[in-house]
Amino acid sequence: MAYYSSLPYPNQRTVHMLSGRRFSLESNKQYKMPEEIFDAVKDDPVKLGEVATQFIEKHQALQVPRLLTLYRYYIGDNDIHYWNSEKPESRADNRIASGFAHFITSIKTGYRFGNPIKFQYNEDSDTSKDDEDKLNDLIADFNSKNDESYHEKIMGKNLSIMGRAYELMYVRENTNEVALRPVNPANAFVVYDSSMEQHSLFAVYYYNVNFNQQDYWYTVIYTDDHIYYYKPTSDYDGQLTLLRSEEHSFGSVPITEYINNDERMGDWEYKLDTIDAIDKSKSEMANSQEDFSNAMLMITGDIDVPKTPWVGADGQPLKDEDGHILYKKKPQIDTHQSKIWLKPALVKSGINDNSQVVQPTASYLTKELNSDGWKLYIDALNMEIHKDTNTPDTSDANFASNASGVAMSYKLWGSDQERSNQESLYTRGIMRRMRLLGNYWQKLNAIKNASMVENINPIYTPNLPKNDSEIMQTVTALVNTGKVSDQTILEQIEPITGVSYESEKQRNEDDTEEALKSNPYDKVFDRKSDNAQEQNDSDSKEVDSDETDEESSD
> Residue 410: what pLDDT?
63
Mean pLDDT, the chain, integer: 84
Q: From residue 322, how far is each of 293, 316, 319, 328 by CA, in Å?
A: 45, 16, 8, 17
Residue 86 pLDDT exceeds 80: yes
User: Which amino acid is it at 307?
Assistant: K
Cβ neighbours of residue 73 closer than 8 Å, sequence gap 6 or more:
79, 101, 268, 272, 275
Tens digits of per-residue pLDDT, 117-142? 999 998 887 888 899 999 999 999 99
Phi-psi region of 74 (alpha: psi -120 to 50; beta: other; left: phi over 0): alpha
Cβ neighbours of residue 476 closer than 8 Å, sequence gap 6 or more:
none
Q: Dihedrals φ, ψ of 217, to 5°?
A: -100, 115
- Rounded Cα–Cα distance for residues 546 and 549 (Å): 5
Per-residue confidence at 344, pLDDT binned at 50, 70, 90? Answer: confident
Per-residue confidence at 63, pLDDT binned at 50, 70, 90? Answer: very high
Tens digits of per-residue pLDDT, 416-432? 889 999 999 999 999 99
Confirm if 427 and 458 have CB atoms less than 8 A apart: yes
> Residue 552: what pLDDT?
46
Helix (H, G, I), strand (E, B) or coil at 294: coil
Per-residue confidence at 466, pLDDT binned at 50, 70, 90? Answer: low
- The better pLDDT of the pair 252, 468 is held by 252
> Residue 520: what pLDDT?
59
> Residue 548: what pLDDT?
46
Per-residue confidence at 517, pLDDT binned at 50, 70, 90? Answer: confident
| CA-based nearest residue to 184, from 204, 201, 167, 163 | 167
> Residue 304: exposed, middle, or buried by beta-carbon count in 10 A (0-12, 13-18, 19+)?
exposed
**Percentage of residues in the chain with pLDDT exceeding 90?**
52
> Residue 554: what pLDDT?
44
Q: From residue 525, how far is each of 514, 531, 539 by CA, in Å?
A: 17, 10, 21
- Rounded Cα–Cα distance for residues 183 and 258 (Å): 11
> Residue 553: what pLDDT?
46
- Rounded Cα–Cα distance for residues 138 and 448 (Å): 13
> Residue 137: exposed, middle, or buried by beta-carbon count in 10 A (0-12, 13-18, 19+)?
exposed
> Residue 400: what pLDDT?
56
Tens digits of per-residue pLDDT, 241-255? 999 999 999 999 999
Determine which of 46-55, 474-483, 502-511, 543-552 has the lowest per-residue pLDDT on average.
Answer: 543-552
Q: Dihedrals φ, ψ of 222, to 5°?
A: -115, 125
Tens digits of per-residue pLDDT, 280-296? 999 988 888 777 666 67
Beta strands in 194-350, from DSSP E residues, in sequence order: 200-211, 214-222, 226-233, 242-247, 255-259, 296-300, 302-303, 342-343, 345-349
Helix (H, G, I), strand (E, B) or coil at 172: coil
User: Which amino acid is it at 166?
Assistant: Y
- Positive or negative torsion for Cα 145, 178, 262, 20: positive
> Residue 528: what pLDDT?
47
Per-residue confidence at 521, pLDDT binned at 50, 70, 90? Answer: low
- Rounded Cα–Cα distance for residues 185 and 30 (Å): 12
